[in-house]
Structure 1
Amino acid sequence: MPQRPLSHIRVLDFGHYLAGPLTGMMLADMGAEVIRITPPGGTGFDGPAFDMLSRGKQALELDLKSDEGRAAAIELAKRADVVIENFRPGVMQRLGLGPEALRAANSRLVYLSMPGFASTDPELSDLPAWEAVIAAYTGQFTDMGLNRRLMGINPSFSPLTLASAYGASFGAMSVLFALNAREQNGGDHIEVPLAAALLEGLVYNCEQIEDYPARYKSPREVELDRREAEGLPMNLKFEELSEFLDPFYRTYTCADGRGFYVVSGSVATHPRRVLETLGLKDLADELPDFSAYLDTRDWPAEWSMRNYPVGASDRERVSSAMKAAFLTKPSHEWEELFGAAKAPATAQRFTSEWLHDPHALASGLILQVEDARHGLMQQMGNVAWLSGDEGAARKSSAAEADLAALLAEPERGGAGGQAGKGWLDGLKVLDLTNVIAGPTIGSTLARYGAEVTLVQPVDPSVDPWNTVVFGIHAQRGKESILLNLRSEQGQEALTRLIAEADVITMNGTDQQRDHLGLSPERLEQINPRLILVQLDAFGGPMRGPKSDHLGYDDLAQAATGVMLRFGGGMETPEEHAHFGTIDVLTGFCACVALGGALLRLNETGKGGVARASLAAAGNLIQAQFMYDHEGRAPFDEPSGRAALGWGAFYHCYQAADCWFFFAAPTERTATLARVPELADLAELPEDQLHAALSERFRSQPLPHWRAAFAGTSATAVPLSSLHDTRDAALQLETAGNIDLTQATFRVIRHDRHPMGRWCDLVAPNAVRPQAGRITIPGSAPKYGAHTRAILARLGYSAGETEAMIASGAAGERWSEKYLPE
């Protein structure tokens, strides 16, 4: 097999449970030599999911509590490039294997620590950081989505391991970027607190804008505001919610009884494509259609097809016509028709169906792997890959490592470097993306020192809810130019921008990519070292029947099984709670792919295409159950509106004063035996334990139970909300001296924002390097703010620039105000 992108990198994976092994799997999936270190007898989390996460790794058993095992680990570190661990703070230091010890043995080592909460956080660092504990404390289970709030369902448990998914993507990207900068910075110790990664992943649910214009609120948000203002209960039934769902953002029932999810608002052409595909062209012709960038006072009608949401006057008749049309064909026919029409939509599927879906298998989003213990397995595929890397679609189960052979190899130490530089300092990135997932790439790269130039069309094709409201975060740290790429002058300016770029980012299918003139062949002709970072909805390492279908975050949720699990079944599908659940993660995964591409570039001088997709990220947030094989245990993970946990020892409970999450997944009944008020329950059968614990926990306030479990592997933490977490972590931008390294959570109130309103945004503090430098990106500019300056830099005279703007080949603004009102 040809050399793979990371085949020159060796990783020691001390990870357990999920986040660490996931990070190791991402690196192994790109060709790194990953040695999985396990204690005698295993980690206690062994099983099919862990076997999947161990694929492509070498397994080595070491007793790290013994002198021999510790000495072997240090010798291995001398011969490694990366160490991954996700223990509680201090564990590796007590073993003599902390970052100071191992980096003293190998100064070029990149050491990644992934604790649940920041090691420097005096309040939280010692918490037993089980996945759901992180989710509960951060606020993932509270006020979970508009449906649940309107139905008065709070809290809502979800088995999706978002903290580990976001943390692993941050961990993998930071390792790869640090390796890329090793000649300048030497090795590094990087900490990625999973709770900080989770808050960054849910950034759009924490974003707050002063005097937020009502035009951007969905019908469900308007109803929430109305009920709160009038003191009405939140008691809607699920079937009543349809009245408050936008026609272009909801599930319909097809002739075969399967749900079909449409997410086609906000982009100027998509609502019309949907209606015409359904045979409703006459209806489309009747609906208002005008610029979404006008202020509402200048609108000629109540709403526009170019702007989400549909107005109240047309909502019922549009949705009724669409309901009737969908009932005329089965879901698989509609899926083909919508895919061909480039109208974003998909059939709802269970995760078990997705694991055997023809497109998922053909594209490599799902792989068939011959596992040593389970036989033929369907497993989630890569979440980040490089085009042309054949190994991305070939996996093998873990193999035993040969310790003697490993220790016989030469050490990998060498000259260090000067600390304090951004890992991507000087990297020039040309950003051609829109909405959330694509722009997340550039804004993430900016924190590491990349110089990002955003190119958008002169006439916007996406409404300001997606471009401006979401862009306040996703476009941070960029300069902005508007070009008409359908014009000869616009294309010529783009060619000049490409010539000066190191990296180009775009979100779109291969068809869209080639139509833009960004085919790999053309880019290689312009500059063989150029890297294109491409993400799309349903792409994988190989082509499949839906590779050119369009899609958004929610459609990946529907296709991969997230919505049916969260909602509880085909009759009650619900989007998973939060804006950008998969969008943001996909952007992070694309950064992982770029990290691999940069290392390959350093080794081979070859650029190429680095890729990720929404569907692949949909696999990642379901990693702990994204597998199937003969004899597999049932897909019985918690689902639906009544879910509050996973058994009595991993569950949401009510104390006398508030809701909290109780986690004792390992010691279980032994934990109860240590607490006097609960000791008598330790002998109860498990099917009686939940009810008994519920009653007992209600007898005392939460501080009592937190004290009772202190010092054990169990814990009880309050169910916070994302907004409470945000507000408690808030710092004013104008106050200066914003610290990104001490507390687990940090949020910045940008009180001198160019839009003229303050806004609250999660700070970029999920990645905390010792040597590398992290920069807080500047505020997102108004679209087109730098058009003249960029054209001048490209060699255009003032007269030429003026002529381009006058002809519409370039532009300086989409609207008079930063945020249309």
Structure 2
Amino acid sequence: MPAPPPLAGLRILELAGIGPGPFCGMMLADHGAEVIRVERPSSGGLTDPSRDPLLRSRRTIVLDLKRPDAVAAVRHLAGTCDGLIEGYRPGVMERLGLGPDLLLADNPRLVYGRMTGWGQTGPLADVPGHDIDYLAISGTLHALGEAGRKPAAPINLAADFGGGGMMLAFGMLAAILHAKASGEGQIVDAAMTEGAAVLSSMVWGFRAMGMWSDARGNNLLDGGAPFYDTYETADGKWIAVGAIEPQFYAALRRVMALDGAEWDGQFAVAQWPKLKGLLAERFRERSRDAWIDAFAGHEACVAPVLGFDEAVADPHNVARGTFVTSGNVVQPAPAPRYSASATVPPRMAGAADSAAILQEAGFTAAEIAALL
């Protein structure tokens, strides 16, 4: 039997929000932390909680934070936790009476995680925004897209989730390790703009080495290179090519019969537009799956671009259990995997556990009835 999940024993209080805050809570819950989500009474929201993987695997308590007794209950719960996640604009938690000064005074070991777009300070701290805005001022959005065309937002993956929720989860765990060793809690200020910038660290290195142009779609990894791009096939589907290293490029040439001398200068940047055009014509000669069959066993770093339904049925993903179904919702399984520890099988959000959570925290039946 696998060992318990690696974060078993950690207790996190999550103040309900959307996007990166819940993603952080999901990551921690997936790996064994007990995460209690504090929801406000509401007639509805952007998503259906019972079908939203971001809300999986934690219990929920519904409290009206406009009421002093509800705020006091949250403060009491925070005193029993290792960490807290909140994603409001700067100053909101302080105005509620749940700011870090008060909660750290109650619980000096508490790690107080703050998720915002711009950060807790700076000229933009109080300005509203979304993933695309935070990505924009990080410099990263400028680099995304095809040559000669507008910047292309990668859904909301890079700022909300990669630079936001994932970065906050890392920061929370780093600070919790510190608190376990020192007894000292602290605030984690996770700004999506800064997280998105960190994700582009390799590109900043390439720029410093003179290996990256600010012109979109003209570089090694942004679709500028003919051997690192996506191509349409005869059936209107797409194939991804990542043949960077010489041996993989040689395999690409071999399978596609790219014998002309123009293919010898793999890194002759001036020739890249011409070679991309030739490759585009060549890939349109066969269907996507026919090309994948042709590349089988040749190690050219070529893969089919799969839609969501195709990804779920892909043999490699099936073998790895990359996707699971919970509550009739197909969703990504927890990642990464561990050699000794288990992760938590996803459990979709259900009815609120308000009374049970408050009872466990020591509230009387009368107090619970008044709060709810």
Q: Distance in 2 between matches of 1:219 and 1:134?
A: 19
Q: What residue number does 2:166 align with?
A: 169
Q: Distance in 2 between matches of 1:356 and 1:380?
A: 13
Find out whether 1:381 has 2:338 as its counterpart.
Answer: no
Find out whether 1:76 has 2:72 as its counterpart.
Answer: no
Q: Distance in 2 between matches of 1:49 and 1:317?
A: 49
Q: What is the CA distance between 1:33 and its match in structure 2?
A: 0.9
Assess if the C-alpha contact under 8 Å between 2:83 and 2:113 holds in 1: yes
Q: What residue number does 2:64 align with?
A: 63
CA 1:218–1:323: 2 relative to 1, 3 Å: farther
- Which of 194, 197, 201 lines up with 1:196 in the alignment? 194
- Post-superposition Cα deviations, 1:316-371, rounded to whole Å, max 9, x if no partner, equal 579647844x456532343355353222111223345435544334423322112x
Q: Distance in 2 between matches of 1:180 and 1:395?
A: 25
Q: What is the CA distance between 1:285 and its match in structure 2?
A: 9.6
- Which of 355, 361, 364 lines up with 1:407 in the alignment? 361
Q: What is the CA distance between 1:127 and its match in structure 2?
A: 0.8
Q: Distance in 1 between matches of 2:152 and 2:261?
A: 42
Q: What residue number does 2:325 align with?
A: 368
Find out whether 1:345 has 2:302 as its counterpart.
Answer: yes
Assess if the C-alpha contact under 8 Å between 1:179 and 1:187 holds in 2: yes
Assess if the C-alpha contact under 8 Å between 2:334 and 2:343 holds in 1: no
Paired amino acid for 1:404: L
Q: What is the CA distance between 1:259 and its match in structure 2?
A: 2.0
Q: 2:231 aligns to what SS in structure 1?
A: strand
Q: Distance in 1 between matches of 2:50 and 2:133?
A: 20
Matches within 5 A, 1:651-730: none
Matches within 5 A, 1:143-182: 144-147=144-147, 150=148, 153-154=149-150, 156=152, 159-165=155-161, 166-182=163-179
Q: What is the CA distance between 1:138 and its match in structure 2?
A: 4.4
Matches within 5 A, 1:533-612: none
Q: What is the CA distance between 1:110 and its match in structure 2?
A: 1.0
Q: Distance in 2 between matches of 1:390 and 1:160?
A: 29
Q: What residue number does 1:19 align with?
A: 20
Q: Distance in 2 between matches of 1:219 and 1:39?
A: 43
Q: Distance in 2 between matches of 1:207 and 1:109?
A: 36
- Post-superposition Cα deviations, 1:782-802, rounded to whole Å, max 9, x if no partner, equal xxxxxxxxxxxxxxxxxxxxx
Assess if the C-alpha contact under 8 Å between 1:219 and 1:246 holds in 2: no
Assess if the C-alpha contact under 8 Å between 1:256 and 1:331 holds in 2: yes
Assess if the C-alpha contact under 8 Å between 1:14 and 1:36 holds in 2: yes
Q: Distance in 1 between matches of 2:211 and 2:164?
A: 33
Q: 1:126 aligns to what SS in structure 2?
A: coil
- Post-superposition Cα deviations, 1:95-141, rounded to whole Å, max 9, x if no partner, equal 111111111111111110112222221x2111123334434454565
Q: What residue number does 2:253 align with?
A: 275
Q: What is the CA distance between 1:94 and its match in structure 2?
A: 1.0
Q: Distance in 2 between matches of 1:175 and 1:309?
A: 45
- Post-superposition Cα deviations, 1:685-706, rounded to whole Å, max 9, x if no partner, equal xxxxxxxxxxxxxxxxxxxxxx
Matches within 5 A, 1:409-424: none
Assess if the C-alpha contact under 8 Å between 1:250 and 1:261 holds in 2: yes
CA 1:35–1:322: 2 relative to 1, 3 Å: same
Q: What is the CA distance between 1:180 and its match in structure 2?
A: 1.9
CA 1:208–1:264: 2 relative to 1, 3 Å: closer
- Post-superposition Cα deviations, 1:361-408, rounded to whole Å, max 9, x if no partner, equal 4423322112xxxxx11112334342354435x211124432234304
CA 1:143–1:177: 2 relative to 1, 3 Å: closer
CA 1:192–1:49: 2 relative to 1, 3 Å: farther
CA RMSD of superposed structures (Å): 3.5
Paired amino acid for 1:164: D
Q: What is the CA distance between 1:29 and its match in structure 2?
A: 0.9
Q: What is the CA distance between 1:220 and its match in structure 2?
A: 5.8
CA 1:50–1:200: 2 relative to 1, 3 Å: farther
CA 1:71–1:158: 2 relative to 1, 3 Å: same
Assess if the C-alpha contact under 8 Å between 1:8 and 1:32 holds in 2: yes
CA 1:60–1:168: 2 relative to 1, 3 Å: same
- Which of 231, 247, 253 lines up with 2:226 in the alignment? 247
- Post-superposition Cα deviations, 1:557-615, rounded to whole Å, max 9, x if no partner, equal xxxxxxxxxxxxxxxxxxxxxxxxxxxxxxxxxxxxxxxxxxxxxxxxxxxxxxxxxxx
Q: What is the CA distance between 1:264 and its match in structure 2?
A: 0.6
Percent identical: 27
- Structure number with greater Rg is 1
- Post-superposition Cα deviations, 1:701-736, rounded to whole Å, max 9, x if no partner, equal xxxxxxxxxxxxxxxxxxxxxxxxxxxxxxxxxxxx
**Size of the alignment, in residue pairs?**
354
Paired amino acid for 2:158: L
CA 1:45–1:368: 2 relative to 1, 3 Å: same
- Which of 241, 260, 275 lines up with 1:262 in the alignment? 241
Q: Distance in 2 between matches of 1:273 and 1:93?
A: 60
Assess if the C-alpha contact under 8 Å between 1:369 and 1:377 holds in 2: yes
Assess if the C-alpha contact under 8 Å between 2:145 and 2:217 holds in 1: no
Matches within 5 A, 1:45-64: 45-47=46-48, 51-64=52-65
Assess if the C-alpha contact under 8 Å between 2:218 and 2:224 holds in 1: no
Q: 1:13 aligns to what SS in structure 2?
A: strand
Structure 1 runs not aligned, ≥5 long:
223-243, 289-302, 371-375, 410-821
- Post-superposition Cα deviations, 1:267-325, rounded to whole Å, max 9, x if no partner, equal 121111222334x38x289964xxxxxxxxxxxxxx3x4xx35663x98579647844x
- Post-superposition Cα deviations, 1:633-669, rounded to whole Å, max 9, x if no partner, equal xxxxxxxxxxxxxxxxxxxxxxxxxxxxxxxxxxxxx
Q: What residue number does 2:368 align with?
A: none
Q: What is the CA distance between 1:23 and its match in structure 2?
A: 0.2
Q: 2:346 aligns to what SS in structure 1?
A: coil
Q: What is the CA distance between 1:62 and its match in structure 2?
A: 1.3
Q: Distance in 2 between matches of 1:404 and 1:217?
A: 55
Q: What is the CA distance between 1:77 and its match in structure 2?
A: 1.1
Q: What is the CA distance between 1:263 and its match in structure 2?
A: 1.5
- Post-superposition Cα deviations, 1:239-258, rounded to whole Å, max 9, x if no partner, equal xxxxx954312333444442
CA 1:204–1:64: 2 relative to 1, 3 Å: same
Q: What is the CA distance between 1:22 and its match in structure 2?
A: 0.5
Q: Distance in 1 between matches of 2:215 and 2:250?
A: 20
Q: Distance in 2 between matches of 1:95 and 1:276?
A: 65
Assess if the C-alpha contact under 8 Å between 1:260 and 1:348 holds in 2: yes
